[in-house]
Amino acid sequence: MLRTIFIKILFLVPLFGFSQDLLINTTNRNTTTLNGTWHYIVDPYETGYYNYRYEAFDQLEKEDWSAFYINYHAKDKMERVEYDFDKSPTLTVPGDWNSQQEKLFYYEGTVWYKKSFDYQLVNDNNRLFVYFGAINYKAEVYLNGTKLGTHEGGFTPFNFEVTSIVKPKDNYLVVKVDNKRFKEAIPTINTDWWNYGGITRDVKLIEEPSTFIQDYNIQLKKGGKNTITGSVRLNNADVDEKVTISIPELKINKIFSANKEGNIQFEFISKKIKYWSPSSPKLYDVFLKTKYQTLKDEIGFRTIVTNGPNILLNGKSIFLRGICIHEENAMRGGRAYNEADALVALNWAKELGCNYVRLAHYPHNEHIVKLADKMGIMVWEEIPVYWTVDFTNEVTLKNAKNQLTEAVSRDKNRASIIIWSMANETPISEPRNTFLKELIVHTKSMDTTRLISAALEKHNIDGVNIVDDEIGQYMDIVAFNQYTGWYGGSLENAPDAKWSIKYNKPVVISEFGGGALQGLHGTIKERWTEEYQEYLYQQNLKMIEKIPNIRGTSPWILNDFRSPKRVLPVIQDGWNRKGLISNHGIKKKAFFTVKEFYIKMAQKYK
Ligand code: GCB
């Protein structure tokens, strides 16, 4: 009876993650990579997780929660007789399984991963964490047979402490990865991108002193020019902890005392700050020191605010010359996961004349955000509240908030990130308004220095394009997607379109575009030809230029990307063809149309 109650309680807990406080800036901590080859077992019926009564094994037996007991014989004896990780094949981590194994191309379900490792702590008092950059979608993590926890959400990092479990030799880390789509999830069942499954980002062990710097943020004070402000949070702080913040190039070296919870709030002045901007992406080496550790970061200082129709970067009005990007290396046909992938995408963006990218439709990996900092490209980051998520569901809201928390925690020290986006093309309703409002409040509770937006929609009455979505009142930037000439609307008349936008705020066209198969040529009237796409861009750009308060665009999309929704033979074959660049990396004609427009806008907003 008691056991039944215990099981029920466990099943009642919400489905999304129970990872612990996120460790940020993991690249500059003391880490050991667990990337590389991992053994895997494909388990479509989840036999390694549920017994024949469909009860989850790891919630039945407390003694040994290690996953994958194919045969459960007696209460005290569990025999693992029907599986063998070590004889199973391997996948490379990070990486999706779809592009690595032909038979897993369309697979959506559970795959078990296993990695063995030895680990000797540098210092016996130190603590060890296992960190995952992202797993799509749901992860159950076990070390040496002990369940560490669960995480839900395919695009954000999480970690677990393993200090009391790790051994010097023969550790085995097992992860159940499940990428099944379901209605209550974020995103929901229906999306226009490939549902790549797997351990898609870096995995590392992180060794920290027993008291360590958990989290911090350092940035230019909103509205200020010379004031650097921020906070530091220590984990397991003793009394009288001190943190030194130093920025040698600015000759800053300040010592702050933590309160008894280990928190520090600080503010100091420096008159010599060189601001971060696309034309001068200055990053400073910043050091945080305690008596136990020194943690380095590279941080850019800039302000971003709006004023009426203007977006002001360091006080100067800017135009966002952008492009949308999915986290995919189209040429490899898989999820992008490293700096080399990021470099391909951001170099193309630069070549297009961009000073800004919209990282659609979920938080991308940390490599691209860090590279954007270095290359001077402003970033719109968003969470996958896409189309028709379950707006009335409390668990769904909690999940969305959790994904926001993880994204903001990871990236809040990146100067490149100027916009947090709440959602994409969500259908207007009261529950949706409530849902998005909660997300906005939540974001502002974590970060008040960046702009809030969401990709909204327009509608049309008597030939006038109207943007009057109520949620716009809570946005700093009114952004919307529109597909004139592709999903309806005449291209010929596009430049004379009439607009009614309810808010006196900066307007950004977060998406527009149309498809073309690279190499297919014809007239401007023939869909899928490069000429049609080029004409679509010419006409749309003439229209966009005249939209009141227009301060930016991010065409859809940098390159062709995989989508199971795109089934037209010969033309699509599983690819969304709206890229300005093909999946083979060849530029289509429209690329140069956008480039020309951006040269003009760069002149205008010099
Ligand atoms: C949209 C969506 C985007 C799609 C695109 C399309 O409005 O935001 O995710 O891929 O349209 O190609 O239809």
The model's pTM is: 0.95
Structure tokens at 110: 């559970």
Separation of 374 CA from ligand 1 center, angstroms? 29
Q: Is the CB of 511 under 6 A from ligand 1?
A: yes
pLDDT at 55: 80
Strand 478-481 to 451-457 pairing: parallel
- Whether the pLDDT of residue 19 is over 70: the answer is no
- Whether the pLDDT of residue 5 is over 50: the answer is no
Ligand 1 atom with minimal separation from the 561 CA? 10
| Cα–Cα distance for residue pair 118/120, rounded to 1 Å | 7
Strands (E), 438-506: 451-457, 459-461, 464-467, 478-481, 498-501
Among 2-11, 293-302, 526-535, whose mean pLDDT is lowest? 2-11
What mean pLDDT value characterizes the chain? 93
The pLDDT confidence band at residue 72, using thresholds 50, 70 and 90, is very low
| Cα–Cα distance for residue pair 193/336, rounded to 1 Å | 13
Ligand 1 atom with minimal separation from the 563 CA? 10
- Whether the pLDDT of residue 323 is over 50: the answer is yes
| Between 484 and 20, residue with greater pLDDT | 484
Tally of CA atoms within 13 A in the half-sphere of 355 that contains its CB? 22
Contact 538, 589 (CB under 8 A): no
pLDDT at 54: 80
| Cα–Cα distance for residue pair 357/373, rounded to 1 Å | 12
Ligand 1 atom with minimal separation from the 361 CA? 9
| Between 48 and 517, residue with greater pLDDT | 517
The pLDDT confidence band at residue 79, using thresholds 50, 70 and 90, is low
- Whether the pLDDT of residue 329 is over 90: the answer is yes
Q: Is the CB of 302 under 6 A from ligand 1?
A: no
Residue whose C-alpha is closest to residue 530's, from 545, 543, 541, 514: 514
Separation of 590 CA from ligand 1 center, angstroms? 18
Q: What is the rounded average pLDDT of the residues 500-524? A: 98
pLDDT digits (tens, 9 = 90+) for 224-242: 899 999 999 999 999 999 9
Strands (E), 153-241: 158-161, 171-178, 203-208, 212-220, 227-235
- Whether the pLDDT of residue 283 is over 80: the answer is yes
Separation of 514 CA from ligand 1 center, angstroms? 10
Strand 356-359 to 324-325 pairing: parallel
Ligand 1 atom with minimal separation from the 455 CA? 8
Among protein residues, the one with the nearest Cα to ligand 1's atom 10 is 192
- Whether the pLDDT of residue 78 is over 60: the answer is no
For the chain, the residue count is 606
Q: What is the DSSP annotation of 227-245?
A: EEEEEEEEES--TT-EEEE
Question: How far lies 22's CA from each of 383, 402, 416, 444, in Å?
Answer: 17, 11, 21, 19
Q: What is the rounded average pLDDT of the residues 163-181? A: 97
Q: Is the CB of 421 under 6 A from ligand 1?
A: no
Phi then psi for 332, rounded to 5 degrees? -85, -20
Which of 188, 190, 191, 192, when mutated, tests ligand 1's pocket best, judged by the most ligand atoms within 8 Å of its CB?
Answer: 192
Which of 193, 556, 572, 576, when mutated, tests ligand 1's pocket best, judged by the most ligand atoms within 8 Å of its CB?
Answer: 556
Q: Is the CB of 424 under 6 A from ligand 1?
A: yes
Among protein residues, the one with the nearest Cα to ligand 1's atom 3 is 192
The pLDDT confidence band at residue 53, using thresholds 50, 70 and 90, is confident
pLDDT at 61: 54
pLDDT digits (tens, 9 = 90+) for 24-40: 999 999 999 999 999 99
Separation of 516 CA from ligand 1 center, angstroms? 15
pLDDT digits (tens, 9 = 90+) for 521-567: 999 999 999 999 999 999 999 999 999 999 999 999 999 999 999 99
Q: Is the CB of 538 under 6 A from ligand 1?
A: no
pLDDT digits (tens, 9 = 90+) for 556-596: 999 999 999 999 999 999 999 999 999 999 999 999 999 99
| Residue for token pair 């023939």 | 526
The pLDDT confidence band at residue 222, using thresholds 50, 70 and 90, is confident
% of the chain exceeding 70 in pLDDT: 93
Structure tokens at 277: 């901007």
Q: Is the CB of 98 under 6 A from ligand 1?
A: no
Q: Is the CB of 425 under 6 A from ligand 1?
A: yes
In the chain, the amino acid numbered 343 is L
Separation of 584 CA from ligand 1 center, angstroms? 21
pLDDT at 577: 98
Separation of 428 CA from ligand 1 center, angstroms? 17
Instruction: Return the SS3 of 347.
Output: helix
According to DSSP, residue 525 is labeled T
Among protein residues, the one with the nearest Cα to ligand 1's atom 7 is 481
- Whether the pLDDT of residue 496 is over 90: the answer is yes
| Cα–Cα distance for residue pair 519/501, rounded to 1 Å | 38
Q: What is the rounded average pLDDT of the residues 291-305? A: 97
Across the chain, which distance is largest between two alpha carbons, in Å? 77
The pLDDT confidence band at residue 80, using thresholds 50, 70 and 90, is low
- Whether the pLDDT of residue 95 is over 90: the answer is yes
Q: What is the rounded average pLDDT of the residues 451-459? A: 98
Among protein residues, the one with the nearest Cα to ligand 1's atom 6 is 192
Contact 555, 512 (CB under 8 A): yes
**262-292 burial string, b = 16+ CB within 10 Å, else e?**
bebebeeebeebebbbbeebbbbebbbbbeb
